[in-house]
Amino acid sequence: MRVGIAITALAGFVVLVTPEPSVIRAAVMAGVAMLSVLLGRPSAGAGMLALCAAGILIADPWLASTPGFALSVVASGALIMLAPPLARGMRRWMPRIVALAVAVPLAAQLACGPIIALFAEQQSLIGVAANMIADPAAPIATVIGLLACLAAPVPPLADLLAASAWLPAAWIATLATVSAGMPLAQLSLVPGIGSAVLVAVISAAMAVVLIGPHSAAVLISPMRWVRRGSVAVIIVVFSLGASHLLLAGPLATATSPDGWSIAACDVGQGDGLVVRSEGAVAVIDTGPEPGPLEDCLRSLGIDHVDLLVLTHFDLDHVGGVDAVQGRVDRVLHSPPGEAQDEQMLARLVDGGAEVVDATAGLSGTLGGASWKVLWPQRGSSVFPPGNDSSVVMLFEGGGVPKSLYLGDLSAPAQRMLLRTAHLGSGFAVVKVAHHGSADQDAGLYEALHPAVAVISVGEGNDYGHPRAEILAVLDAIGAHVLRTDQQGRVLLGMDEGELEVWTDRGG
């Protein structure tokens, strides 16, 4: 009777919320589980699941290419076949009810992980715990929400029920937001078959270890070796994970030499550079998002920024500004072009920073080094806000090699800079403009004649940066090219007048 009522309610619920593909898949899987109970053969659930999955694919073959369908089927199969042995195995360490509560989301996570790794760039490390905390609120929100819909003819009652459903629904939404934002909540992986195989091996090893030796099958010699191999995989994974946490946390600075004075952080397709002199720090642009810059600053042992330079307000140069929010003394910026640029500057002011409109001639000191703004020209209206109004900075002295940072200037702006700024030559380091685009003035680089040309660029970017044209120019003048897409983070320093270079990936 309970199964019949539940199936009837499920059918009505599908009609009520509209039979979209995801709803149909979930309803079919739930119906399979209930029918297996109704027939008195819960063990037949796997076969019925396979039959229903085949039927759905015959009706709509295109579902075979959708991650949602694969996740629905695999998660349901995990609940039928993997959750019970996991619960039995974990009863060795915890009460039965707790073991069952953990086994259900854990089985789904282990089974779905390899599929998620095919198309997603993250693997959740706290998904099981988050699901367990959210689980009690889900049926409450669903049932009260359903009653609110059914009570629609009586508006006061419907409003009361809908308001009551808000609390458990808000609990789930808040939990999702908070857990996703927690440190180490997820692990970044490159989506694809390789990552899927890696996650599958780790998931299988965890399942074998958690299920334990109670099954008669593991007493057979081959299975004993499988279990030992699984334990070895888990030990290796946790050892590598612990090492990563240490190197990204308390031991972060152990990955950086002491003698660096210029750093080109690997922030992807964008700019994020650091200049240091006698303990004072300047950051030039912040990359497209906060995470990579945060990691770079942590590895360099930097928790305070004396000078922040926002060369211009394109996302790949200011998208990571939250990484330094509230930790900046002074900000130099190019002309803002939109209201959101002004809002960003206002947030920096709220965080305690002094904000200054940078124009040619402005100068100052950073520790023992001096800096000077060479571009844009004061009051110039030749170039609108954007790439060609990028703030160009010169640093030298105090242990900092003579270095020039060209932002995203194009060839016309570079030619005007060369005519007006009296740059001279003999630069040790030049940050190549616009990630090595083809829109460059060869005469500028020939005049600068840098020993090292740094190109901050994202690996496999869609723009083809750096372009062959600028690489040919740099090769012709004998500059040593350092690229963040190939070498990762690049560090440079001076030792007895000689330029030293350290890179994360060599080359």
pLDDT in tens, 415-437: 999 998 888 778 999 999 999 99
Peptide bond into 139 cis (omega under 30): no
| pLDDT value for 190 | 72
Residue 278 has pLDDT above 50, yes or no: yes
| pLDDT value for 219 | 47
Residue pLDDT, tens place only, 6-17: 888 888 888 877
Residue pLDDT, tens place only, 75-131: 888 888 888 888 888 888 888 888 888 888 888 888 888 888 888 777 777 777 888
Name the token pair of 413. 């702006």
What's the DSSP call for residue 326? T
Confidence class for position 492, pLDDT limits 50, 70, 90: very high
Higher pLDDT, 483 or 24: 483
Q: What percent of the chain has pLDDT over 70?
A: 87
Residue 59 has pLDDT above 50, yes or no: yes
5: burial class by Cβ within 10 Å (0-12, 13-18, 19+)?
exposed
Q: Does an H or E element contain 353, and which? A: none
| pLDDT value for 216 | 46
Confidence class for position 207, pLDDT limits 50, 70, 90: confident
Residue pLDDT, tens place only, 309-362: 999 999 999 999 999 999 999 999 999 988 999 999 999 999 999 999 999 999
Average pLDDT, the chain: 85
Confidence class for position 217, pLDDT limits 50, 70, 90: very low
Amino acid, single-letter form, for residue 169: A
What is the rounded distance in angstroms from the CA atom of residue 147 to the CA atom of residue 139?
A: 12
Residue pLDDT, tens place only, 68-87: 788 888 888 888 888 888 88
Domain boundaries, the chain: 2-187, 253-500
Q: What mean pLDDT do residues 196-205 have?
A: 85
CA distances (Å), 16 to each of 19, 147, 152, 168, 405, in order? 8, 11, 12, 20, 60
Number of neighbours of residue 361 by Cβ within 10 angstroms: 11
Angle at 272 between CA 296 and CA 328, to 5 degrees: 80
What is the rounded distance in angstroms from the CA atom of residue 319 to the CA atom of residue 270?
A: 9
| pLDDT value for 288 | 94
| pLDDT value for 145 | 87
| pLDDT value for 218 | 45
| pLDDT value for 364 | 95
What is the rounded distance in angstroms from the CA atom of residue 144 to the CA atom of residue 146?
A: 5
What is the rounded distance in angstroms from the CA atom of residue 130 to the CA atom of residue 277?
A: 45
CATH 3.60.70.12 fits 253-500, yes or no: no
Confidence class for position 221, pLDDT limits 50, 70, 90: low
**How many Cα atoms are found within 13 Å in the side-chain-facing hemisphere of 309?**
30
Burial 128-167 (b: 16+ CB within 10 A, else e): bebbeebeebeebbeebbbbbeebeeeeeebeebbebbee
54-63, 219-228, 334-343: range with highest mean pLDDT: 334-343
Q: What mean pLDDT do residues 214-234 have?
A: 58
Name the token pair of 207. 């399942």
Least confident of 132-141, 233-242, 341-350: 233-242
Confidence class for position 402, pLDDT limits 50, 70, 90: very high
**How many Cα atoms are found within 13 Å in the side-chain-facing hemisphere of 419?**
8
